[in-house]
């Protein structure tokens, strides 16, 4: 793979590189790691890449990689830049025949997201979006339990994602991650709702297989002087009639990364929390509560396929990311060899998930500003 972004001082770039390398399926061969050519060069040196495979811009990288013989050039591009820099490299990569893995959200706005979806459809190339929380074994176990009807028809979904790291105006201190995430020019129309609210939205739809139909949002800026939302609450209506509650907050003091979801069906409820990812709680209507653990018992094949190590050895954030990269790599290898991959490995977020994420951002912000409140998704 080649990488756009993720140079010295970047957080998410290193996460992507570790995740991509975890299963031995992917090799980093080139990169344009910064908009500053010198910083890109130094970052490439840190990663022991050949000097001639480290580029000063993503345009240069895509152009020169395309000129290399097949088998030597990169097979796909991993985009790990801030939101406003997702669309350009993704579009150029697709136009030049390269597959894409992109960090979320997919683009700066819905128009860009839809344009990428059209390009993916036109080219037939693979596109993965790193909604990494879908990669956890117990998330996949929950998804299959819903799909197989184990908990009955879903009636209610409660998903929450509180963090506390932006409880103060951290962006004014020079903290890089806070600076771009609270800047409308780089983050887009939403702050917390774009950064973490989209993860909550995606997780709810992924596990249940349902789609949001209508929503009603209350969006807030709690830290004085901040330009984008740092807290929000959303009522949801799903396409099967189920109701839901979603809240995302980055001013919940004391919270770390507490993404959690509860799904209530006619027969049982499911509960999963990112900070205790190896555990899925099943609360049955007519019998005792059940605790399902990663690597233990007769799990669904989808959950087993995302499990790498024996029970009792915690698998977490990096492994969940790695599941997306591994599945993408297996599908890409099949694509390159004109073969059809096993269905179990086609399970990763796609460009369509990216479009839904951008639509969620738009509709949440629209509802938050509207007196009407309930907005058609």
Task: Tell me the pLDDT tens digit for each residue of 194-249.
Answer: 999 999 999 999 999 999 999 999 999 999 999 999 999 999 999 999 999 999 99
Find tokens 């597959």 and name the residue.
Answer: 99
Question: What is the CA angle 184-192-155, rounded to 5?
Answer: 135
Tokens of 349: 């977020």
Q: Which two tokens stand for residue 370?
A: 């509207």
Domain ranges of the chain: 2-129, 147-309
Convert 40-79 to b/e letters by CB count within 10 Å (16 or more is b): bbbbbeebebeeebbbbbbeebbeebeeeeeeebbbbbbb
- Cα diameter, the chain: 65
Torsions phi, psi for 98 (to 5 deg):
-100, 135
The answer to whether the beta carbons of residues 46 and 34 sit under 8 Å apart is no
Question: Mean pLDDT for each consecutive 10-residue tract of the chain (377 residues)?
Answer: 95 96 97 96 97 98 97 96 96 98 96 98 98 97 98 98 98 95 96 97 98 97 98 98 98 98 98 97 97 95 95 92 98 97 97 98 96 90
Tell the CATH superfamily of the 147-309 domain. Answer: Dihydrodipicolinate Reductase; domain 2 (3.30.360.10)
pLDDT per position as a tens digit, 142-185: 999 999 999 999 999 999 999 999 999 999 999 999 999 999 99
* C-beta separation of 140 from 326 below 8 A: no
Residue 371: the pLDDT is 87
- Within 8 A by CB and 6+ apart from 250, the residues are 162, 163, 164, 165, 166, 167, 191, 192, 195, 196, 230, 231
Judging by beta carbons within 10 Å of its beta carbon (0-12, 13-18, 19+), is residue 309 exposed, middle or buried?
A: exposed
What are φ and ψ of residue 76, in 5° steps?
A: -150, 165
In the numeric block, which tokens belong to residue 114? Answer: 């839809």
Where do we find the tokens 């139909």? Answer: 213
Q: Which residues contact 325 (CB under 8 A, 6 or more apart)?
A: 16, 19, 20, 22, 23, 25, 26, 101, 128
Residue 131 has what pLDDT? 97
Q: Is the dihedral of CA 300, 302, 303, 306 positive or negative?
A: positive
Task: Please determine, looking at this structure, whether the domain spanning 2-129 carries the CATH number 3.40.50.280.
Answer: no
**Of how many residues is the chain composed?**
377
């Amino acid at each position: 793979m080649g990488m756009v972004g993720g140079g010295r001082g970047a957080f998410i770039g290193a996460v992507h590189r570790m995740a991509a390398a975890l299963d031995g399926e992917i090799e980093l061969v080139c990169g344009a790691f910064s908009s500053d050519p010198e910083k890109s060069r130094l970052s490439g040196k840190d990663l022991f890449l050949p000097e001639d495979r480290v580029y000063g811009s993503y345009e240069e990288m895509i152009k020169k990689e395309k000129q290399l013989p097949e088998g030597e050039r990169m097979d796909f591009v991993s985009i790990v830049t801030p939101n406003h820099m997702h669309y350009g490299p993704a579009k150029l990569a697709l136009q030049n025949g390269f597959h894409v893995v992109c960090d979320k959200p997919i683009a700066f706005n819905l128009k860009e997201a839809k344009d990428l979806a059209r390009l993916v459809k036109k080219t037939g190339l693979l596109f993965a979006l790193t909604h990494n929380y879908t990669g956890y074994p117990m998330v996949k176990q929950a998804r299959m339990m819903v799909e197989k009807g184990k908990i009955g028809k879903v009636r209610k979904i409660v998903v929450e994602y509180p963090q506390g790291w932006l409880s103060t105006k951290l962006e004014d201190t020079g903290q890089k991650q806070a600076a771009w995430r609270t800047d409308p020019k780089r983050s887009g129309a939403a702050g917390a709702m774009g950064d973490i609210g989209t993860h909550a939205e995606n997780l709810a739809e992924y596990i249940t297989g349902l789609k949001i139909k209508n929503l009603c949002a209350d969006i807030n800026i709690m830290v004085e002087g901040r330009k984008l939302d740092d807290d929000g609450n959303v009522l949801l209506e799903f396409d099967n009639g189920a109701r839901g509650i979603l809240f995302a907050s980055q001013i919940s003091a004391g919270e770390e990364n507490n993404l959690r979801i509860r799904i209530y069906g006619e027969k049982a409820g499911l509960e999963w929390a990112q900070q205790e990812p190896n555990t899925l709680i099943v609360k049955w209507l007519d019998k005792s509560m059940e605790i399902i653990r990663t690597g233990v018992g007769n799990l669904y094949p989808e959950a087993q396929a995302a499990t790498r190590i024996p029970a009792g050895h915690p698998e977490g954030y990096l492994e969940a990311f790695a599941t997306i990269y591994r599945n993408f790599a297996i599908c890409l290898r099949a694509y390159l060899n004109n073969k059809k991959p096993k269905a179990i490995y086609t399970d990763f977020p796609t460009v369509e998930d990216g479009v839904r994420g951008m639509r969620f951002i738009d509709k949440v912000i629209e509802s938050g500003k509207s007196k009407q409140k309930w907005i058609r998704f």
